[in-house]
Homo-oligomer: A and B are copies of this chain.
């Protein structure tokens, strides 16, 4: 089941390849190790640990969100059942921790990321039950804090463990910041893909997150705008979007109210912040910088 979760085999256990994720987190860990003067290999325990935690969080998230599909295949729980998927998630987490047992400085960041990851997941669940408008509506700041936990923390751990393992624990905190900012930008890009992404690329229907009534940054930013489209959108979402026409209309209103542009600008701000720290601490980290740039491209 772990092999399936990691994209190494199909649901019958037959070896398969190319079904895993993009590997952004392990890439950051290894590039961070190199950037501080270590070898790529020195960052490997961190790279493995963060990828395992990522797989753990996807396995559990899909159970919680009742998501049946993941990376163009059945979600783990859909393929094996809730109980086995739950334990597999636990196993992936246990393996992640075991990977850094010999590296206490790196473990400190992995542990911090786990706490924030769970906090982010909890906030994400709580947001579902909050209204679209009024005093209890989710704010953009609350959303950003949630995303910093849910996605940023693990990219932070990737960068920080890489720095520790590469021989520069004194840069751990700064690299944690870099990773967190990248993570927030990364999640905002994901939020945009969740609405406007090409179904052939994302593996999910277009406007998927709108249809699922999900509170994502483009929508929250649109609702926060002082624009007639924002008011129409707010009324529509509060009533519930029924039918494909309503979903398409809502997506157009998000754009009209400036939600897409605002999300893009927010993502860019976080990438810029990450690059500024990199320029300051590690001006010669060209490959890590290139990875940040490719992320910046993803936003456009």
Asked if B90 and A125 make an inter-chain contact with CB atoms under 8 angstroms apart, the answer reads: no
Asked if A63 and B86 make an inter-chain contact with CB atoms under 8 angstroms apart, the answer reads: yes
Asked if A122 and B60 make an inter-chain contact with CB atoms under 8 angstroms apart, the answer reads: no
**Does A246 make an interface contact (CB < 8 A)?**
no
**Does A31 make an interface contact (CB < 8 A)?**
no
**Does A37 make an interface contact (CB < 8 A)?**
no
Asked if A122 and B64 make an inter-chain contact with CB atoms under 8 angstroms apart, the answer reads: no
Select A97's contact among B97, B121, B125, beta carbons within 8 Å. B97
Asked if A111 and B82 make an inter-chain contact with CB atoms under 8 angstroms apart, the answer reads: no
Please measure, in the bound complex, the distance between the C-alpha atom of A114 and the C-alpha atom of B92, giving whole angstroms: 10
Select A115's contact among B60, B64, B87, B94, beta carbons within 8 Å. B94
Asked if A94 and B111 make an inter-chain contact with CB atoms under 8 angstroms apart, the answer reads: yes
Asked if A108 and B112 make an inter-chain contact with CB atoms under 8 angstroms apart, the answer reads: no
**Size of interface on A: residues with Cβ below 8 Å to B:** 31
Asked if B104 and A82 make an inter-chain contact with CB atoms under 8 angstroms apart, the answer reads: no
Asked if A60 and B90 make an inter-chain contact with CB atoms under 8 angstroms apart, the answer reads: yes
**Does A6 make an interface contact (CB < 8 A)?**
no
Bitwise, A253-279 to B at CB < 8 A (1) or not (0) is: 000000000000000000000000000
Asked if B93 and A64 make an inter-chain contact with CB atoms under 8 angstroms apart, the answer reads: no
Bitwise, A107-119 to B at CB < 8 A (1) or not (0) is: 1100110110111
Chain B nearest CB, measured from A190 CB (Å)? 20
Residues of B within 8 A of A94 (CB): 111, 114-115, 117-118
Smallest Cβ-Cβ distance to A119: which chain B residue = B91
Select A121's contact among B82, B87, B118, beta carbons within 8 Å. B87
**Does A11 make an interface contact (CB < 8 A)?**
no
Asked if B104 and A101 make an inter-chain contact with CB atoms under 8 angstroms apart, the answer reads: yes
5 shortest interchain CB distances as A-B pairs: A64-B83, A94-B114, A104-B104, A91-B118, A98-B111
Q: A60-B87, A94-B111 are in contact. List 7 more A-B contacts (CB 8 A).
A: A82-B82, A90-B121, A91-B119, A94-B115, A97-B114, A101-B107, A101-B111
User: What are 9 sample pairs from A and B whose C-beta atoms fall under 8 A apart?
Assistant: A63-B82, A65-B83, A87-B118, A93-B93, A94-B111, A94-B114, A97-B97, A101-B111, A107-B107
